[in-house]
Amino acid sequence: MNIDKMVSALAKGIKQDNIRVKEAMGKHTTFKVGGHTDIFICPESVEELAHAIKTCKVHETPYYILGNGSNVLVKDGGYRGVVIQVYKTLDQVTIEGDTVVAGAGVLLSKLAKLIAKASLEGFEFASGIPGTLGGAIYMNAGAYGGDISQVLLSADVMDEDGQVLTLTNEELKLGYRTSIIQDTHYIVLKAVLKCKKRQSAGYLCKNR
């Protein structure tokens, strides 16, 4: 890959500040190991993400989607291609009644706090899992008997052509630490979760 050529093509649809060259991957993974990636992008909108995917396709350049990097090990030789991180961007959360719409880049710990603050329950299992919502849907993350499949209604995903599709819980084929995302290479953009109104006082009152 000609890195300069690729960077200028990416910069046509992505802010320069969101594109880095020769980024050490150890900075972005929990285990803090691994070599550098040729190009590292943090798209701040769905449009920037779509531009990144389409540019990689046109230039026949491999890309890898990264969330919080808590379930990824990068080899010492690094990654030849473009790493696209969906983390703390695409992270908007809106809660109406018992329905939560959350961006793929939101951390599960933050989302669990927002859901609890809205007097909803059903997402407590995710509060200690150190990843993003996108990474959690990718592998149907879970703990303490709960998992994503129990609260997820649907997810918007982007395919390899940059098209956005909505998949229902059933269509996502969420099994034990698996989902259809692992086979299709879709990118999770956002999800709709259904929680329950909290019946008990819950942990928010414990500090009173």
Among 134, 151, 155, 191, contact with ligand FAD (rule: CB under 6 A):
134
1: which 2 tokens?
A: 């890959």
DSSP three-state, residue 194: strand
Task: Choose among 166, 146, 153, 28: nearest CA to 99.
Answer: 153
The answer to the question of residue 83 lying near ligand FAD (CB under 6 A) is no
Burial (Cβ within 10 Å: 0-12, 13-18, ≥19) of residue 200: exposed
The answer to the question of residue 188 lying near ligand FAD (CB under 6 A) is yes
Among 6, 19, 53, 66, contact with ligand FAD (rule: CB under 6 A):
66
Q: How far is the CB of 139 from ligand FAD (least distance, A)?
A: 5
The answer to the question of residue 40 lying near ligand FAD (CB under 6 A) is no
Q: CB of 156 within 8 A of CB of 131?
A: no
State which residue, 78 or 131, has the beta carbon closest to ligand FAD: 131
The answer to the question of residue 65 lying near ligand FAD (CB under 6 A) is yes
Q: In whole angstroms, how far apart are CA 102 and each of 110, 152, 154, 194?
A: 11, 11, 11, 11
Q: CB of 126 within 8 A of CB of 133?
A: no
Q: How far is the CB of 71 from ligand FAD (least distance, A)?
A: 3
Chain CA centroid to CA 204, Å: 27
Among 18, 37, 61, 132, contact with ligand FAD (rule: CB under 6 A):
132
The answer to the question of residue 78 lying near ligand FAD (CB under 6 A) is no
The answer to the question of residue 71 lying near ligand FAD (CB under 6 A) is yes
| DSSP 8-state secondary structure symbol assigned to residue 149 | G
Task: Choose among 122, 114, 161, 155: nearest CA to 138.
Answer: 155
Among 1, 72, 101, 180, contact with ligand FAD (rule: CB under 6 A):
72
State which residue, 55 or 132, has the beta carbon closest to ligand FAD: 132
State which residue, 55 or 67, has the beta carbon closest to ligand FAD: 67
> What is the size of the binding site for ligand FAD (CB under 6 A)?
26
**Rg of the chain, C-alpha, whole Å:** 18
Residues that bind ligand FAD (CB under 6 A): 30, 65-72, 86, 104, 129-132, 134-136, 138-139, 141-143, 181, 187-188
